[in-house]
Amino acid sequence: MPKPSNRLSGILHSGKDGWEVHFAAMTRKEAGEDIIMLSVGDHDFDSPSETVEACVRAVRAGYHHYTQLPGIPCLRAAMARISTRCTGVETGANNIIATPGGQLALYAAVQGTLDKGDHAVVVAPYYATYPGTFRAAEADFTVVEADAADGFQPRADAIEKALRPNTRAILLNTPNNPTGAIYSRESLEGIARLCVERDLWLLSDEVYWALAEGHHVSPRALPGMAERTLVINSMSKSHGMTGWRIGWLTGPESMITQLTSLNLVTTYGLTDFVSRAAAEALENDYGVEQIAGIYNGRRKLFLDAIRGANEFTVRGSEGGMYVMLDVSAIEPDDEKFAWGLLDGEKVGVMPGSSFGEAAAGHIRISLCQPDGILLEAAARLRRFASAYRSKAA
């Protein structure tokens, strides 16, 4: 076989990345062990039945054809309505390009703002696909850690130090995966000022906005930012539609027009019947309030169950689908902790260091399990911690 491109082989870095604990937990669960999986971020429930019915109707009605490259008009209009609500900035259909999932919105944002050799700053802890998305654009990036001691709030002064003459963009994610931190207005104002002063793009991943509505602040709404912010959004989390692959990018109209050429050479537009169902789900907010209620309820339930145990320090964990526990008082090596928890108590979690240095000494816990299982997991965690302590004493 001839050699593949360096671009392709450079997307993923080889080596250990912490997902070994997750895959081991999955294999053991499939083999019949009573493993509680708290390592993945996919809903434990189906998409809303109204959305499913809308899709079935659309298939039967003959929506089987090519669609407009930036998305069908009613879908873009419905996404614009949600973007107005998510970002607090009046948004029109021409500010929207529809993509197959938030990941492709992120890919488009990076491809659209960085040339080969350009530099970006990525705020960590971050979502696992970020580095590979920059490598796919042959762009360079510097990771700037948001400290656990600050509740994982990013600091503009740390970001400023990482800027270079060829820096073109900053990427951040709020509410954050993996930490659950909701970035404060103050943190975002500092970063926005940098973007304006240095004429930078801000790539703002807000796919968890609906799981923190009322607390979420979009940097797009800050002074001078609407013209330089690209917001990554998705129906995966807010509308319970991970497998449907529907997301979008919101930004200045002229940028969105240019990004349409990327859809020409990649997706050639979205699936027709999925687009119709997605538009109906967005117009009617199918599932949004219920899903937010489920995760907000689970977060409180789990944190209440864990808070009594003083070995754990809760950090971030304010919104979204995850909570982050500092376990360093029990075991500073988070990977060792995660393997011990899997072996000793059959609970699968992600070691924090898989998401960057700032989350070392932590574990990430997904809330994608029903209340009863989360309570059982909290009990197993507490038992594991006290057994670990007495073993060490």
Ligand X SMILES: Cc1ncc(COP(=O)(O)O)c(C=O)c1O
Which residues would be at the binding site for ligand X (CB under 6 A)?
Answer: 41, 101-103, 106, 127, 173, 177, 205, 207, 234, 236, 242, 247
Closer to ligand X by Cβ: residue 295 or 312: 295
Pull the structure tokens for residue 262.
């990327």
Closer to ligand X by Cβ: residue 321 or 327: 321
Closer to ligand X by Cβ: residue 152 or 388: 152
Shortest distance in whole angstroms from residue 202 CB to ligand X: 15
Closer to ligand X by Cβ: residue 351 or 384: 351
Nearest one of 297, 301, 317, 295 to 362, comparing CA atoms: 317
Closer to ligand X by Cβ: residue 132 or 332: 132
The amino acid at residue 371 is D
Closer to ligand X by Cβ: residue 262 or 305: 262
Shortest distance in whole angstroms from residue 130 CB to ligand X: 8
What is the rounded CA–CA span in Å between residue 181 and residue 157? 19
30 sits in which H/E element: helix 19-30
Exposed/middle/buried for residue 9 (C-beta within 10 Å: 0-12, 13-18, 19+)? exposed
Which of 366-385 are b and which e, b meaning 16 or more Cβ less than 10 Å from the residue's Cβ? bbbbeeebbbbbbebbbebb
Shortest distance in whole angstroms from residue 217 CB to ligand X: 16
Shortest distance in whole angstroms from residue 9 CB to ligand X: 23
Nearest one of 358, 361, 362 to 155, comparing CA atoms: 358
The helix/strand/coil state of 229 is strand
DSSP 173-220: ESS-TTT-----HHHHHHHHHHHHHHT-EEEEE-TTGGGGTTT---GG
What is the rounded CA–CA span in Å between residue 5 and residue 14? 16
Closer to ligand X by Cβ: residue 51 or 103: 103
Q: Specify whether the CB–CB gap between 172 and 205 falls below 8 A.
A: yes
325 sits in which H/E element: strand 322-326
Shortest distance in whole angstroms from residue 241 CB to ligand X: 8
Shortest distance in whole angstroms from residue 182 CB to ligand X: 13
Strand partners of residue 231: 204, 250
Shortest distance in whole angstroms from residue 105 CB to ligand X: 8
The amino acid at residue 163 is L
Which residue's structure tokens are 């062990």?
33
Closer to ligand X by Cβ: residue 208 or 388: 208
Shortest distance in whole angstroms from residue 177 CB to ligand X: 4
